[in-house]
Chains A and B, each alone.
Chain A
């Protein structure tokens, strides 16, 4: 089974600064999809960004962007101009293009300091 590793259990960032959350994964598949989800204290799971493995271009959604390194099996999330509302748990997820399963990392808790 694929594994997803988030090695940073908790991180802090000053408001308006930039922070990068790390994610690595292990797979033998060549085609797959990667996601970042945000979970605020409300417990709701919110999709932040999505990346197709066959695309070399890194995905971007407003202040959120990824650094996808396929050979290194790395998928980090960069949050620019951090806001207080960005404080949450962030989960990295892997989806096989063939199988109907999603695999999640253990999460990174992001604190944003005013």
Chain B
């Protein structure tokens, strides 16, 4: 059982380049999330998808777009990367409303030069 799978694990971009971070979960979860982790700031929510077909902005959505491709997959796109987007990105999922916890992927370390 793979859980939440993120690709790639590492990525270096030049300013202005674009890329898509992929995320897939095999737990039949309804809700999926993208977080970024920066030193001293914990995890901040970029976008989330409460259920297939819906997406909503989180705390720091500027510069990002998302697509909930189907129930399993939730991708994060950087259209024009900036150095401020250098971070570790986590995808996570949970069953839905209620008290179920987040299950995380292993993260993507992105560096924008």
Contacts and interface: CB of A to CB of B under 8 A. Distances in A.
Contacts of A107: 40, 42
B75 interface: no
A106 B104 contact: no
A43 B101 contact: no
Interface in A1-23: 1, 4, 6, 9
A78 interface: no
A103 B41 CA distance: 12
A60 B31 CA distance: 27
B16 interface: no
Contact of A91 (B42, B92, B99): B42
A59 to B, nearest CB: 11
B102 to A, nearest CB: 6
Interface residues of B, number: 27
A42 B107 CA distance: 10
Contacts of A64: none
B97 interface: yes
Interface in B1-58: 31, 33, 35, 40-45, 48, 50, 58
B90 interface: yes
Contact of A100 (B31, B35, B106): B31
B110 interface: no
A106 B59 contact: no
Interface of A: 1, 4, 6, 9, 33, 35, 37, 42-45, 47, 50, 52, 91, 93, 95, 97-98, 100-107
9 contacts: A35-B101, A43-B107, A43-B109, A50-B99, A101-B58, A102-B45, A102-B92, A103-B45, A104-B42
Given A44-B104, A50-B99, 19 more contacts: A4-B42, A9-B40, A33-B98, A35-B102, A42-B106, A43-B107, A43-B109, A44-B106, A45-B90, A45-B102, A45-B104, A47-B101, A52-B99, A97-B97, A100-B31, A100-B48, A101-B45, A102-B33, A107-B40
